[in-house]
Amino acid sequence: MSGLLRYAIWSCKAMFQLRKLVLRGAGVMDAMETFEPGGNILAGESDTGKSYLLHCIDYVFGADELRKRIPEAEVYSDIFVELENSAGEFLTLKRHLAGGKIAVYRSRFESMSATQPEVVTSKRGTGKGIKDISAVLFAFAGIPEAVLRKNNRGATQRLSMRMFLPVLLIDEIAVIDDRSPVLGKSGFSETAHKRTFSFMLSGKDDEGIVTSEEQVLVKARSTAQLGVITELLAPLEERAAKRQFASPLASEEIHEAINSISDHLTLITDERTNLYLEREASTAELNRAEYQVIALKELLSRYHLLDGRYASDLERLDFVAEGAHYFKELQETRCPLCDQVMDGAHEHSAEASAESVHQSARAEAGKILGHRADLAETIEAVTSRMQEQAMQAAAAKANLSRIEDRLTQVIIPSFTEVAARLDDLVSHRIELERANSERDQIRNLSELKRQIETALDTKEEKETWQQLPAKALRELCSEIETILGKWSWKGPGRVDFDQKEYDIVVDGQSRQSHGKGVRAVLYAAFAIGLLRYCRSKGTPHPGMVIIDSPLTSYKKGKSSSTGDGPVDPGIEASFWESMAGLDDGIQVVIVENKEPPQDVAEKVHYQWFAGDAAKPGERAGLIPR
């Protein structure tokens, strides 16, 4: 968000004012103090709890701890602070005296029980979506979230409520201190406090500033980078000096040669693949033919055995027929089986005559001869088939021999030779590319080394930042001049702002050069003047100022040995009188030991703490007895 847009958003929001502070504990009466718009005076004796009130507000606004403890407050457990903005909205903050987070009730103190509280942290947390008290108070007062520069290198930080404290809650020590009313107590965040003051004057923050790293860190990192680059360069340069190429071919020539040899190798590879496929097919054909030949040989062997059986049967039939011829020529004789005469009625005699035997033998022989003729034809066919298969096997063997000769004598030697040549070229190209790559690395690293060495030799240029806006400073000083005029300041009352000391200079004399009494008066004038300026210009300011003891150190009508110089006796009276004329749009709370004039006390919200001498009807202190 741009500074102008932030200013536009701020200008239509409201400041807030303090309405109530309450201490509450179990079994004890509430300690309560109320406040009104415009001037508020809380006066009384010492040790009546006046300053403790300011520390309580600081604690609820996000301090790490309650910096001041009083014995009377030990019975209380919680602090409540009620705020109201100019839109009429109320906010009540609750925090335990032992510490912890802050409960936020968006209601009056009396209506808290009907409101669900929102719990926030005192400081911005690291968790996502966690709110802190600054975000709550800024939203309530219409102060936009802002980013402010925190050092001269341009590093930034988020604006917090703590950055407003030097001009918001001014304790009795700070008011007389000679430190700048802008910078506050701590010197560790001076730049951030300065930028907060500028933000209050102009409404513009430091978002978008480019951060420059600390020169010591930059040089340390650059020196480390230089060492790494030197270590990387050494081996590269050594290899470049020793590198020699056996071939003078350029990169383009190597590329063309690789493409040509790759094409040749592809042709050889394709032919080899085709020969492998052909060899596989011929091997399958050879195996099939050889299996066929073996099977047919076995079948022929069986057929020849069958033919031999047929021949044996024919010989047996011839024997039977011839035996029948001789059988009929035999004389009667006794049977070798039964020893009977083998006559016609003998049981073992052949019933058939020799002629019938001849006829049967011829018939059987005819059948066998027919079968044998068929068998001969079959044998002839099988023999022819076997010869064909043998020829196919021989052809397959011849083809395999041709393929093997081609592979072993031509293809494989050519493939080996071309592949080796291709490997050499590829290796040469890789080496050439590596050399080119390393040459580029040497060039780039050398250039980077030169740049780093140049940067290390270059002196750091001090950053220059824009000064505070002159017009706004002049208008602020005019507001302070008006206040000093109302306070009867002796002299012209010309106010300037010293941007070196970040403090005001009145009539040519710095605030620090005065004694503590005048320093306190001028601090109060600065804080009230800044509040009036922010109110009139619509720039960021919470909307209230609490000042502890601005007049206690002031000695009316006297000069101080510490360098106060002449002081107009009417300053204190005019100071009190000005409280009665404050605009209700702002709120100033004065905590003092001194009593204001009666007519002033009647015109402002006034509370007197009588202390131990309190009479009936008078209030002894912040803590009720």
For the segment 417-432, what is each residue's pLDDT rounded down to a tens digit? 888 988 888 888 888 8
- Of residues 207 and 90, the one with the higher pLDDT is 90
pLDDT band per the 50, 70, 90 thresholds, residue 3:
very low
State the DSSP string of 334-387: B-TTT--B--TT-TTS-SS-HHHHHHHHHHHHHHHHHHHHHHHHHHHHHHHHHH
pLDDT at 188: 60
Residue 239's pLDDT band (cuts 50, 70, 90): confident
Average pLDDT over the chain reads 84
Look at the block and give the residue holding tokens 């040749």.
264
| pLDDT-derived band at 344, boundaries 50, 70, 90 | low
105-114, 153-162, 399-408 — which is least confidently predicted?
A: 153-162
Handedness of CA 294, 296, 297, 301 (dihedral sign): positive
DSSP character for 410?
I
CB contact at 8 A, 339 and 345:
no
CA atoms of 615 and 56, how far apart (whole Å): 27
Report the percent of the chain where pLDDT is more than 70.
85
Among 125-134, 482-491, 555-564, 605-614, where is mean pLDDT lowest? 555-564
Candidate from 205-219, 224-238, 394-408 with smallest mean pLDDT: 205-219
Say whether 328 sits in a helix, a strand or coil.
coil
Largest Cα separation within the chain, whole Å, is 198
Please report the pLDDT score of residue 10 as a whole number: 38
Q: Output the pLDDT for position 464.
A: 60
- pLDDT of 544 strictly over 90: yes
Q: Which of 45-49, 350-354, 482-486 has the highest average model confidence (pLDDT)?
A: 482-486
pLDDT bracket for residue 350 (50, 70, 90): very low
User: Among 366-370, 595-599, 605-609, whose mean pLDDT is lowest?
Assistant: 366-370
Could you give the CA distance from residue 571 to residue 554 in angstroms, rounded to a whole number?
Answer: 9
pTM: 0.63
pLDDT for the residue 595: 92
Instruction: Take residue 341 and report the two structure tokens written for it.
Output: 């005469």
Q: By mean pLDDT, which of 79-93, 514-528, 543-557 is the weakest?
A: 543-557
> Percent of the chain at pLDDT above 90?
42
Instruction: Tell me what pLDDT residue 5 has.
Output: 36
Residues 475-529: tens digit of each pLDDT: 999 999 999 999 999 889 999 999 999 999 999 999 999 989 899 999 999 999 9
pLDDT of residue 336: 66
pLDDT of residue 97: 93
| Residue 594: φ, ψ to 5° | -85, 150
pLDDT higher than 90, residue 342: no
Looking at the predicted structure, is the pLDDT value of residue 201 above 70?
yes
Contact predicate 547/524, CB 8 Å: yes
Average pLDDT over residues 97-119: 93
Q: What is the pLDDT of residue 615?
A: 87
Show the tokens assigned to 49: 């709890």
Predicted confidence at residue 105, as pLDDT, reads 97
CB atoms within 10 A of CB 611: 16
Using the predicted structure, report yes or no on whether residue 247 has a pLDDT greater than 60: no
